[in-house]
Amino acid sequence: MHQIVIGTAGHIDHGKTALVKALTGTDTDQLAQEKARGMTIDLGFAYLNDQITIIDVPGHEKFIRNMAAGAANIHIGMLVVAADDGVMPQTREHLQILDSFSIQEGLIVLTKVDLVQDEDWLELVELDLQDLIKNTVLDAAPITRVNNLNGDGIEAVKKLLLRISKEVKIQIKSSKFRMHIDRVFTKKGFGTVVTGTVDSGELQVGDEVELLPNCIATKVRGIQTHGDNVDLVGVGDRAAVNLAHVQRTDINRGTVLSNPGVFSVTKQVIAHITMNPNTDWSIKNKQRIRLHIGTAEMLGRVSMATAKLSKGQNRTAVIDLEMPLSVAMDDLFVIRSYSPMETIAGGRILDPVPSGKWSELKIRIQELSPEPENRFRTMIEKEWKQPRSLNSWSQRFFRDKNIIQNWIHAADLNVELKSNLVYSNDSLKKSNEAVLSLFNKAYKRNPFRKTIGTETIMDQLKWSADWTEVVLSKMELEGQIIQCSGGVILSSYEPEITAKDQKDLDLLQSLLDLSGLEPISFKELIKRSGLQPRRVGDLLHLLSDQNDSLNIGTDIWIAKKYRDKILNDLRDHFAKNKLLSVSKFKDLTGLTRKTAIPLLEYLDRSNYTQRDGNNRREGSTLNV
């Protein structure tokens, strides 16, 4: 069973820590400074039972960054309000943070009711709370009263938490392990220990892991949860992880612990920002902000296609970060103003590693949907020249393959069996048209060069090798092209050959025939024919397409009928002998070493022969 995480929220001195202690028996104020000052400074942790963790957060405005770090991993929000004070500034700000992190369930606990003798006042506070939570993640959440003096109401809160916990649905986005670190310390005899709430996947003792954004490789020496040594932790577990060969100074709150190679490090993200409806702030273009994501806090600047973003509005923007960060697609965050510090917005990461100039990013931020499934479809169409595999999309969206497969099915997309490339019918149609256009332009420039190399197609269209293979294979099945050893030919194309063309073709063929078994160079053909170099090159390609001549090396040509004679001689030789020496090949062909060696190298490349030291053996294609 996955752990359920409950997080407290509320103004300073409204009884959050006392409530947690009454519910669990644990005093979460562990720091000496917390004891001395009588207030929570950092995150505290307690356990309602084996399956439910409570994170107690500080209420003072100076420690909102710690509250945001705790709220990033919770499933249930418990907003605590003191009956004698009612709604206060951090009550509102904490509610905004809970709203930004889209918790699943919540409740409101009205504490210190023993300090209020006026029932009308209590009802007024509850009405104020009901008004406060409208259109938020806590809308219609139950309100429970607690008497701090005699403990009345504590059991009711506990029962309510247990009931709500059963309604929480843990969403397993990815099987890859990730944990945002909220504490790091050194334990004598063990070394460096980090703590956090497991965000996804599982971690076992002995696993190789990575610390980001510093990209430090390390290994898990031991794991504890609920104070006990364990071999494995999973989603929602509070985990203390002992890491090997890592210094305390290498890690900070906000560092991410994950499986190696899963996440990239970035200093720029595309994000959808939603302004709080009640804030007096607006975000202007290039404005400096504080970003709270995971357990990290950092500064950044917002770049938008519009002048500003005002309260209640939402928009997609680019955020340039002042420090490197490791995030995933659809991670949620909170934005606070630079100074004075107030929570002003929440948001969602749409692209954790964007690339391109501002002119390109400006277009991209208008294309990307806040909804993951819609964004996936957009990216499929946008990246049609280099489709990704199912595994690649799974990693990019930080989603398990079964989720991506559901999106593929819903969008009526295709998955290539061999390469697992994901593409749309429209992508295939555009690719088909791009190949035909490339052929038409190439034939217009060089009418006699029917064959275009596969590498040329891939380079000119800027496609991946896998996508080039998919498109060409489908075009061949439809009879549009013919794939041969030299490249690809458009099946419907036949060059128009004039009488002058035929005369020059016959001249070159006669020169190849006269050369016999001895290959002839391109330069020698130009010299003997008296034709221009480009003209000779075009005509030789046409002779090659007509299967009358062969290019056997770097600008070395031979008539096909003489190549075939050599192959017949080799078959006769290998019928009686296992090996063929260079001198024997010279005897068979009557060639000098200068011309025999390039011909032998061609035979090796074509697998007609197989080199064995200074000799040759029969190759795999000689008798095919």
Instruction: List the CATH number of the domain containing 46.
Output: 3.40.50.300
Of the residues 258, 291, 326, the one at which a domain ends: 258
Of the residues 227, 258, 289, the one at which a domain ends: 258
Residue 484 lies in a domain: no
Spatial neighbors of 334 by CB under 8 A, at least 6 apart, are 68, 71, 96, 97, 100, 101, 291, 292, 293, 343, 345, 346, 347
pLDDT attached to residue 72: 55
Average pLDDT (285-306) is 92
Distance CA 491, CA 485 (A): 15
Task: Provide the pLDDT confidence category of residue 68 given band limits of 50, 70 and 90.
Answer: low
Residue 183 lies in a domain: yes
Average pLDDT (276-305) is 91
Distance CA 216, CA 63 (A): 29
Of the residues 309, 335, 367, the one at which a domain ends: 367
pLDDT attached to residue 446: 82
pLDDT attached to residue 12: 79
- Inform me whether the pLDDT recorded for 230 exceeds 60: yes
Q: Are residues 214 and 135 in the same domain?
A: no
Average pLDDT (587-591) is 89
Average pLDDT (175-180) is 93
How many domains does one find in the chain?
5
Task: Provide the pLDDT confidence category of residue 208 given band limits of 50, 70 and 90.
Answer: very high
The enclosing domain of 216 has a CATH number of 2.40.30.10
Are the C-beta atoms of residues 256 and 212 closer than 8 Å to each other? Answer: yes
Please tell me the number of Cα atoms within 13 Å of 55 on its side-chain side.
29
61-70, 427-436, 577-586: segment of lowest average pLDDT: 61-70
Over residues 108-133, the pLDDT tens digits come to 999 999 998 889 999 999 999 999 99
Q: Are residues 183 and 163 in the same domain?
A: no
Report the amino acid identity of residue 199. Answer: D
Residue 279 lies in a domain: yes
pLDDT attached to residue 602: 87
Q: What is the mean pLDDT of the chain?
A: 87
Q: Are residues 155 and 66 in the same domain?
A: yes
pLDDT attached to residue 318: 96
- Inform me whether the pLDDT recorded for 69 exceeds 70: no
Q: Are residues 349 and 378 in the same domain?
A: no
Q: What is the DSSP letter of 387?
A: P
- Inform me whether the pLDDT recorded for 30 exceeds 80: no
Tell me which residue range forms the domain holding 31: 4-167
Helix (H) or strand (E) holding 392: helix 390-396
pLDDT attached to residue 498: 81
pLDDT attached to residue 61: 45
Task: Provide the pLDDT confidence category of residue 301 given band limits of 50, 70 and 90.
Answer: very high
pLDDT attached to residue 313: 92
Q: Are residues 540 and 560 in the same domain?
A: yes
pLDDT attached to residue 9: 85
Query: Is 88 strand, coil or helix?
Result: coil
Q: Are residues 83 and 202 in the same domain?
A: no
Q: Are residues 23 and 133 in the same domain?
A: yes
Residue 487 lies in a domain: no
pLDDT attached to residue 548: 80
- Inform me whether the pLDDT recorded for 181 exceeds 50: yes
Average pLDDT (194-209) is 93
Residue 489 lies in a domain: no
Residue 481 lies in a domain: no
Q: Are residues 501 and 459 in the same domain?
A: no
The enclosing domain of 578 has a CATH number of 1.10.10.10
Instruction: Report the share of the chain in percent with pLDDT over 90.
Output: 49
pLDDT attached to residue 120: 92
Q: Are residues 25 and 155 in the same domain?
A: yes
Q: List, edge to edge, every strand of the sheet that includes 4-9.
A: 44-49, 52-56, 4-9, 76-82, 105-111, 143-145
Task: Provide the pLDDT confidence category of residue 465 given band limits of 50, 70 and 90.
Answer: very high
pLDDT attached to residue 228: 84
Average pLDDT (77-98) is 88
pLDDT attached to residue 539: 83
End-to-end CA distance of the chain: 61
Q: Are residues 22 and 102 in the same domain?
A: yes
pLDDT attached to residue 179: 93
- Inform me whether the pLDDT recorded for 39 exceeds 50: no
Q: Are residues 360 and 381 in the same domain?
A: no
- Inform me whether the pLDDT recorded for 345 exceeds 70: yes
Average pLDDT (149-153) is 89
Average pLDDT (361-384) is 94
Distance CA 91, CA 79 (A): 8
Q: Are residues 144 and 31 in the same domain?
A: yes
Residue 274 lies in a domain: yes
pLDDT attached to residue 1: 56
- Inform me whether the pLDDT recorded for 32 exceeds 50: no
153-157, 275-279, 364-368: segment of lowest average pLDDT: 275-279
Residue 482 lies in a domain: no
pLDDT attached to residue 59: 41
